[in-house]
Amino acid sequence: MCDREHLIDAYHDGELPRDERAAVEAHLSGCADCRDALEAARHTSRLFAGATMPQLPAGAVGRMYGAWAIGMRSARDRAVLRIASWLTAAAAAVLVAGLIGLRNAPEPRGGSLAWDAPVATEAPVEATTAPELVQVAQWQAEDLSR
């Protein structure tokens, strides 16, 4: 096996620059392995050129493209649902972390927190353990999704 045999397909397909093409042609005169590889590539090209294309039934192409479109739409829908589920989980984690952080935050100097705007929903204040915080987060998520 010759170390330049990998260039034969590119040479056969006319993909080499002029200087590399000339170098391969000079190499071919002295390398039987590369000449055999080039002849095999030419033989394969002749076989493909002489082959007849089978005829498909009239509706086969339309059914094939229709099945492909349905498969692509289904894959896209699954991808969107997967992303949505990850984003929902991330939002719930951020909400729980925020609630835990708010619960552990020091109270301001002036006393309790004061809000300028009215609160749309009120969470139960007595939630003190992590499972209860998860329940509060779920309750808020359900309330906000209405």
Domain annotation covers residue 60: no
State mean pLDDT over 93-98.
88
H/E segment holding residue 57? none
Residue with tokens 């969470």: 123
Domain annotation covers residue 91: yes
Percent share of the chain, pLDDT over 90? 27
State mean pLDDT over 63-85.
79
Instruction: Based on the fold, state whether residues 100 and 140 are members of the same structural domain.
Output: yes
> Between these two residues, 144 and 62, which has the higher pLDDT value?
62
- How many domains, in total, are found in the chain? 2
Domain annotation covers residue 66: no
* Region at 105 (left for phi over 0; alpha for psi -120 to 50; beta for the rest): beta
Return the structure tokens found at 76. Answer: 């896209």
> Between these two residues, 109 and 22, which has the higher pLDDT value?
22
Instruction: Based on the fold, state whether residues 142 and 84 are members of the same structural domain.
Output: yes
Instruction: Based on the fold, state whether residues 46 and 79 are members of the same structural domain.
Output: no
Q: Other C-beta atoms within 10 Å of 1: how many? A: 6
Q: Which runs of E-coded beta strand occur in 44-86? A: none
Domain range for 99 is 75-105+121-146
Domain annotation covers residue 58: no
Task: Say whether pLDDT at 19 is over 50.
Answer: yes
Task: Say whether pLDDT at 125 is over 60.
Answer: no
Task: Say whether pLDDT at 25 is over 70.
Answer: yes
Instruction: Based on the fold, state whether residues 84 and 41 are members of the same structural domain.
Output: no
Residues 6+ apart with CB under 8 A from 34: 2, 4, 5, 8, 24, 27, 28
The Cα 47–Cα 57 span in angstroms is 25
> Between these two residues, 9 and 143, which has the higher pLDDT value?
9
> Between these two residues, 133 and 2, which has the higher pLDDT value?
2
Instruction: Based on the fold, state whether residues 91 and 133 are members of the same structural domain.
Output: yes
Query: Could you write out the DSSP letters of every residue in 75-129?
Result: HHHHHHHHHHHHHHHHHHHHHHHHHHHHHHSPPPTTSS---SS--S----TT--S
Instruction: Based on the fold, state whether residues 86 and 134 are members of the same structural domain.
Output: yes
State mean pLDDT over 53-74.
78
Domain annotation covers residue 134: yes
Per-residue confidence at 113, pLDDT binned at 50, 70, 90? low
> Between these two residues, 60 and 105, which has the higher pLDDT value?
60
